[in-house]
Amino acid sequence: MTEPLAPGAYTFATDEVAGERLDLAVARLTGHSRTQAATLIATGKVTVDGSGERASLRLEPGGTIAVTIPTPPGREVLPEQIPLRVVFEDDELVVVDKPAGMVVHPAPGNWSGTLVNALMGRGQGLAEGAAPERAGLVHRLDKETSGLLLVAKTDRALRVLSGALAAREITRRYAALCWGHLDGDRVTVDKPLARDPNDRTRVAVREGGRAARTDFVRLARFASCDLLRAHLHTGRTHQIRVHLASIGHPVVGDDTYGGGGGRRLVGLPPKRHFLHAAWLVFKHPVSGAQIDLRSPLPAELRHSLTTAAELPELFAHPDPLDYLGFYRANG
């Protein structure tokens, strides 16, 4: 069953649902039931080319459907006492080292236990410029991706950091283990991404999607996989995972995009893919000072890397990524 889209505003091209009734199309595109889709239409939350329409409308190609999914009533985001590893904090911002398995913000199916709930539970203020369920978030990480996440505590910080992110002035580099071997030590994937029309929980390379570019540098070549440093130039949902899968080298352990098989070969536990946000560099939104933060691999990824490399000495090193040259600016 497709997971429903979170509350928010969405637009879709009618080309992929041409000929369908509007209510059925909205249900399929958003992952909601037909009854829920009909309610959205009846309450004016759905327009086609800017106008409200009937649920029975047969869609023509070349148009645009706009859908606003409201926040469910009574779904207040509540503070929770959940331990967090904070690697940097001041009056303007906080950087958290997120563990794998933690959802970043509340959404249908995950209204508690998220990073935002945990941040609120610390009793600190978060930027109010965002919706309550995404309070202060400058960017996001997938549930099973671990590593550094930047959160604004003031509206000023959120505005400046969001602008820096859009201008590609924040450096985010990820450690990824992919199946097989890249064609060269440096590979750039520049392919547009959009929601998969057949499964709204997935993202696919699609013509007309949002521009997305990832640079990959191979740090080590093992028997069955490569260790990569991935540099995001854009921040699309599942970007690294989809880009690697699109060139035939999915992230090890990624059940969604074809990398889940063979995880035992590299000692990776279930429901975990090998993707870690290890390096974050940005300018402080007020002082302008450069902040350079690093997150060593979590224990389960260190074990997996050592198994894949067949080099026990890697595990003894304080930071295997440093040993393999991950933090070399031009490496």
- Letter for the amino acid at 100? A
How many whole angstroms from its chain centre is CA 248? 20
Structure confidence at residue 1 as a pLDDT band (50, 70, 90): very low
Residue 73 has a pLDDT of: 60
Catalytic residue among 142, 199, 215, 292: 142
pLDDT number for residue 72: 66
Reduced 3-state DSSP string for 181-224:
CCCCCEEEEECCEEEECCEEEEEEECCCCECCEEEEEEEEECCC
Instruction: Tell which residue, 51, 20, 25, has the closest CA to residue 38.
Output: 25
pLDDT tens profile 220-245: 999 999 999 999 999 899 999 999 99
Give the closest residue to 293 by CA, choosing from 149, 162, 190, 184: 149
Domain annotation for the chain: domains and CATH numbers: 8-69 (3.10.290.10), 86-166 (3.30.2350.10), 171-323 (3.30.2350.10)
Instruction: Determine the pLDDT at residue 329.
Output: 72
9-34 pLDDT, tens digit per residue, is 899 999 989 999 999 999 888 888 88
Residues across the chain: 331
292 noted as active-site residue: no
Q: Would the pLDDT of 199 be above 90?
A: no
Average pLDDT over residues 66-88: 85
